[in-house]
Amino acid sequence: MNPVKQLTLASLACLSTWSAYGETLPNMVFIMTDDQGWGDLGYNGHPKIKTPHLDDMARTGLRFDRFYAGGSVCSPTRASCMTGRCNWRVSINDPSRADEEHLPKEEITLPEALREKGYATGHFGKWHLGGFDEKMAKGPVHVMPPWKAGFDECFSTFNVLITHDPYARIGKHGIEGSYWHNGRNIPFEEGQKDSTLRGDDAAIVMNKAIPFIREQAKAKKPFLAVIWFHNVHTPLGKNPELMKQYADCSPKEQVYYSNITAVDTQVGALRKALRELGVADNTMVWFTSDNGPNLKGKKDIMYGKAQGGKFNYTPQGSTGAYRGWKRYLYEGGILMPGILEWPARIKKPFATDLPAVTSDYFPTALDAAGIPLPPDRDYDGISLLPLIDGKMKRRKGIGFHCRGMEAWVERRYKVIRIATKKNDPKPWELYDLLADPFEAKDLARERLEVVQRMDKDFAVWAKSAKADEQKVLDKYHQPKSRGSKPRK
């Protein structure tokens, strides 16, 4: 481990079983789906998708009505979850190829920080933040699997895999694209014979997570479980049993909707297990998605009653009435479902329209465990614990830089633009999200003073983020003029 990082970690916390709030340390579960849109849930108004367990979480816990993914595609958001820092700082601005980029080893990850406080840590499902071995990464530079990022127990894949019966045949990523258990790639023949690795992928992932949780609960040890489902990223598998629930829908709808229900079913299994183990009250369970649905345009559009009849959905996903989808920083690409269930702290359910983002996970988790933020780096996320007590306002905007777009989001206003070369900036668009949440009217010319103020705030943040990115580029990449391939 990097000596500076090791020293920083050692200084974060004394090994105590008490949190900053004088209670025993809370357990933490972070659930994330892949490419699930804001509208792909019953509680947000989808007229067909069945998500009873997530609907119940939203009804009985804290529902975020403005929860943002850190990026408009997968890897950038996942980096923000792990570090509390924007993806720009770690130079992850696209879906990560195993041989092109990785979560830098100098970053302090959520599991690394919590381990210093005595937490057991586990990762289950998709990773997509670095190669798993030198063969996959084509050299040692971009090797960064979850077991090298602070996780004790790992049942993980580098990227996507088919969401039903993944060992029925080898996918396009080869056997390396299948499950890895604690650094060991499970061979195809072994996977075919192992009944625990056949069938529904969401169930396979959760059935590895729950025994880990059970073991820690029995030992009375606090735990962090990061459960990142592959659903509903393609390739989508067909689960015959779950598809029966959608027999009156089109074949495409049956496949997509049943894959959402597969996740919901496993969320129900998790909640049941937590209750049976007697740890549900002091376990914070978070749920979100990593970016909007992969629509590439909208086809076969249907409409529901929600959002004044403007809610629209397709057989490939829904952003509700919000503009854009995956790859775009318009609301449809980054506005996600957001839920926190934590009975010991959230005694009365409520909803909030306070803007929050996946970068907030890290500082919130550390705050809950009584661990100070490392003082040697800038953080983009903030602790959301004061929100539970009704004592919180977000005093600064949230910055985005991903897939050739940039945005700055405040409670009321949002500016967004296409990111180009330094000397050829595109003009900002301005939207009043309180009056125009669907980003229909650009107010940039009418409210130039607002654009100028937000541009200055964005520039201050961008300067800091770019400085951090340059450190990563200097260490792990060739100069941009020669491409961004890793040094050997």
Which pLDDT value is given to residue 394? 81
Q: Which amino acid is at 25?
A: L
Q: What is the mean pLDDT of residues 463-481?
A: 87
- The percent of residues above 90 in pLDDT, for the chain, comes to 87
Q: What is the mean pLDDT of residues 13-41?
A: 81
Q: What is the mean pLDDT of residues 435-461?
A: 98
Span 382-400, pLDDT tens digits: 999 999 888 888 888 999 9
Cα-Cα end-to-end distance for the chain: 20
Which pLDDT value is given to residue 421? 65
- Alpha-carbon torsion 338, 399, 70, 374, what sign? negative
pLDDT band at 29 (very low <50, low <70, confident <90, very high): very high
Span 110-127, pLDDT tens digits: 999 999 999 999 999 999
pLDDT over 60 (residue 366): yes
pLDDT band at 12 (very low <50, low <70, confident <90, very high): low
Min mean pLDDT across 171-180, 350-359, 461-470 is at 171-180
Which pLDDT value is given to residue 484? 38
* Cα–Cα distance, 176 to 51 (Å, whole number): 32
The full set of domains in the chain, from first to last, is 3-11+22-388 (3.40.720.10), 398-476 (3.30.1120.10)
pLDDT over 50 (residue 482): no
Instruction: Provide the Cα torsion 228, 201, 121, 400; round to 10°.
Output: -10
Q: What is the mean pLDDT of residues 198-221?
A: 98
Average pLDDT, the chain: 93
Q: What is the mean pLDDT of residues 32-37?
A: 98
Span 419-433, pLDDT tens digits: 876 667 789 999 999
pLDDT band at 486 (very low <50, low <70, confident <90, very high): very low
Query: How many Å separate Cα 132 from the centre of its chain?
Result: 20
Span 244-282, pLDDT tens digits: 999 999 999 999 999 999 999 999 999 999 999 999 999
Whether this prediction's pTM lies above 0.85 is answered by yes
pLDDT over 60 (residue 483): no
* Cα–Cα distance, 102 to 419 (Å, whole number): 22
Q: What is the mean pLDDT of residues 465-487?
A: 73
Span 134-178, pLDDT tens digits: 999 999 999 999 999 999 999 999 999 999 999 999 988 899 999
